[in-house]
Amino acid sequence: MTGETPLLRASAIDAPVKGIFYLALGGLFLTVADAVLKWLSTSVPPGELLAGRTGVTLMLTIIVALRSSAPLAALRTRNLRDQIGRGVCAAVFSFLMIEAFRRMPLADVYSILFAAPFLLAALAPRLLDEKVGADRWFAIALGFAGVVLMLRPTGEGIRWAALFAVACAAISTFRDIFNRRLIATDTSLAIQLYTNVAVTAAGLATLPFAFVPIGWFDLGLIALCGVIQFVGQYFFVDAFRYAPATALAPFKYILLVWALAVGFVVWGDRPDGWSLAGTALIVGSGLFMLARSRRPAPAA
């Protein structure tokens, strides 16, 4: 049946409970997809993984667009420069993320990725012409302290593997800046399309240099990872049509719960004191920044 998909709806629906449920469900699917990626990363080169997984997601994105009432309008971009910028950020992010997953527990990687909001706040004055007050600078410092703890500042040195996740957080900051510009001109499907094209192309470009034959079971897992990724993105995006971003923001941290659960069940990962302390500071920084952003503006 051809019709308008939720990803193409322009109108919002006031159903915050449903929005929170969609956000949690989408986060669970995305966490499982990352877990499959982590599982495969020990035997399959990153480029091969990304070409397969994102290629499947790309095909599903096109299928959903073709089943809409206006396929060309759904996929048209009015801001090609920022689409390219976001695609490059997403490709670099994906390669770094796989390297982080290979070396660290899922929950630790996710904790550091939640540092992205305060990195974005730090860059906002220069890149987005947004003012950052003293309270936000406090949150930025708090979040930075959390990242330092995640890096393990002991007498034995720092945890170098965590730098991959720190780089991911930095790259995702620039990706989010492109997001803010693109949502004003392009549909969610168009943003997903160009990003998936960029990541798939980057993965394919590495195949002549790093390719290993893989069996049908691993091929099936890669395809499944792409499907799960697409479903997770679908619910995650649609959540914001049922509830405002400010209402959903605190519930994004449920991804940490999913990551802890999946990491424990699959790999037996148990967070140590450094990880828990760093995670607490990073989450606290994000929640503090959110609470301050909800304050009414002072009267002129």
Q: Is residue 80 part of a domain?
A: yes
| Sign of the Cα pseudo-torsion (3, 32, 279, 154, in order) | negative
Q: Is residue 3 part of a domain?
A: no
| Matching residue, tokens 């992010």 | 93
Rounded-to-integer distance, Cα 59 and Cα 199, Å: 13
Q: Which of 249, 216, 274 is nearest to 52 (CA)?
A: 216
Q: Is residue 216 part of a domain?
A: yes
State the CB neighbour count (10 A cutoff) for residue 155.
4
Q: How many residues are recorded in the chain?
A: 300
Q: Is residue 82 part of a domain?
A: yes
pLDDT per residue as tens digits for the range 142-185: 877 888 777 765 544 556 778 898 899 889 878 877 877 887 78
Rounded-to-integer distance, Cα 286 and Cα 146, Å: 11
Q: 219 versus 131: which is more confidently predicted?
A: 219
Q: Which of 192, 194, 190, 186 is nearest to 78 (CA)?
A: 186
Which pTM value belongs to this model? Answer: 0.81
How many domains is the chain built from?
1
What is the residue range of 33's domain? 22-293
Q: What is the mean pLDDT of the chain?
A: 82
Q: Is residue 246 part of a domain?
A: yes
State the CB neighbour count (10 A cutoff) for residue 175.
21
| Matching residue, tokens 């192309």 | 201
Rounded-to-integer distance, Cα 246 and Cα 231, Å: 23
Q: Is residue 17 part of a domain?
A: no
pLDDT per residue as tens digits for the range 121-132: 666 666 555 566
Q: Is residue 8 part of a domain?
A: no
Token digits of residue 112: 């550091």
**Measured CA distances, 219 to 54, 99, 144, 209, 225 (Å):** 13, 20, 39, 19, 10
Q: Is the pLDDT of residue 133 over 80?
A: no
- Helix, strand or coil for residue 236? helix
DSSP E strand boundaries for 160-250: none
In terms of average pLDDT, the best of 64-78, 162-176, 209-223 is 209-223
Give the pLDDT score at 53.
94
Q: Is residue 6 part of a domain?
A: no
